[in-house]
Structure 1
Amino acid sequence: MIDDNQVQQWLTDRGADAIEHPGGTLLDHLSRVADRLTTWATPDHVVMAGLCHAAYGTDGFVTALITPDERPQLVDLIGNQAEHLVYLYGSCVRNPLYPQLAGREPVTVIDRFTGDSHCLDDSDIRAFLEITVANEIDVMLHNEELARQHAQPLYELFSAASHRLPASARRDCVLLTELDRG
């Protein structure tokens, strides 16, 4: 069993509590994403991946707490399944990936660290999408300017990909329509 307090301490030791992020600090954001995933009854490894989803930085948030060379450290802390999702989330190039999420065909992801591409299996697609939805809802709830720019397009993307989301996540996507002030 993964010790949530140990993971929170690791994130704090890596400076997540001092990095500004919409709604407070990166640690605040990561905790809220994990909490939202928990309310959706997602598997524990997906919740843990949500808690650490920005550990390697992301295509949209370049500040990293750890480098890809340090992956074994995160594996030891949160396990293989969760770390695999954290790496997937942090390493993916989003622009070519997002439009694929709405389809039913195989989804190919490009690794921004290596340039390699590979197809995702259905469980990885679903977990990635759940973390993405929880992340984007939290960011939009805490940044009015970003909500004006991105809430509606995100709602449209998540609606089109709703066949890959649990009902609880689909219901929360409606929050994005309430934030669209543009």
Structure 2
Amino acid sequence: MTIDPPEPERPSRELGVEEAGIATVVEALAFCGANEIPHPGGTLLAHLERVHALLTEWGARPALRLAGLCHAYYGTDGFPTALGDPAEPDRLAAIVGEEAERLVRFYAGCDRGFSYPRLADPEGPFKDRFTGAVTSPPLPLRRDFAELTAANELDIMRVNPELRARYGPGLLSLFTSWKGLLSDSARRAVQTTLR
């Protein structure tokens, strides 16, 4: 099912997308079934809301916080269940804005096995799992991606001790290698959660 909620309000540019439309986004995600899809710590929607809250706590800008709220909309390399079709980006962009939608699509497209170990390299090669294309995203985009990835994984580690025991050491190593990409708040959260 894809987002097609009844007449979402267009956010005001003065207020910003998030402040004007966060309830609409949550409603749209529920409409797509995110509140019924199991996920560590409850439902996918609960996870998405916690990732959004973490990014807010870390001081992320509104577009990145909204991307956090919708990061699994197209599915991911680690969670293939999709709420929408990446070939129809206008549906998501209509409620979160174009920048947040682009971040969600970029996040969803990550071939983790290829991209994670190289993300902090000077060229940061990134492989799109949908197209197979390898690009060198600009540093600000890689920073957004790293921040969103950390928020996503740390939420899962916080709510599931078994997964933390299994994957925590590897994530600590990965996020330590990304220290130049993560905000101070994210780095502190990595240390607190994974040590």
Normalising by the smaller structure, the TM-score range is over 0.9
- State how 1:1-182 maps to structure 2 within 5 Å: 1-2=16-17, 3-103=21-121, 105-178=122-195
CA apart distance, 1:151 = 0.5
Letter in 2 for 1:147: R
CA apart distance, 1:63 = 0.3
TM-align CA RMSD: 1.1
> Which digits, 9 at most, give the CA deviation of each residue in 1:132-160, with x for residues without a partner?
00000001112222111110110111112
Consecutive unaligned residues of structure 2, counting only runs of 5 or more, are 1-15
> Which digits, 9 at most, give the CA deviation of each residue in 1:23-81, with x for residues without a partner?
11000000000000001111110000000000000000000000112211111111111
Partner Cα separation in structure 2 for residue 122 and residue 69 of structure 1:
25
Partner Cα separation in structure 1 for residue 38 and residue 68 of structure 2:
18
Partner Cα separation in structure 1 for residue 175 and residue 63 of structure 2:
22
> Which digits, 9 at most, give the CA deviation of each residue in 1:67-118, with x for residues without a partner?
1122111111111111111001111100111111233x11121111122221
TM-score scaled by structure 1? 0.94
Partner Cα separation in structure 2 for residue 90 and residue 135 of structure 1:
12
More helix by share: 1
Aligned residue pairs: how many?
A: 177
Identity %: 42
Partner Cα separation in structure 1 for residue 95 and residue 132 of structure 2:
27
Partner Cα separation in structure 2 for residue 114 and residue 163 of structure 1:
28
SS of alignment partner, residue 106 of structure 1? coil
TM-score scaled by structure 2? 0.88
Please say which of residues 107-116 and 122-131 is displaced more in the overlay: 107-116
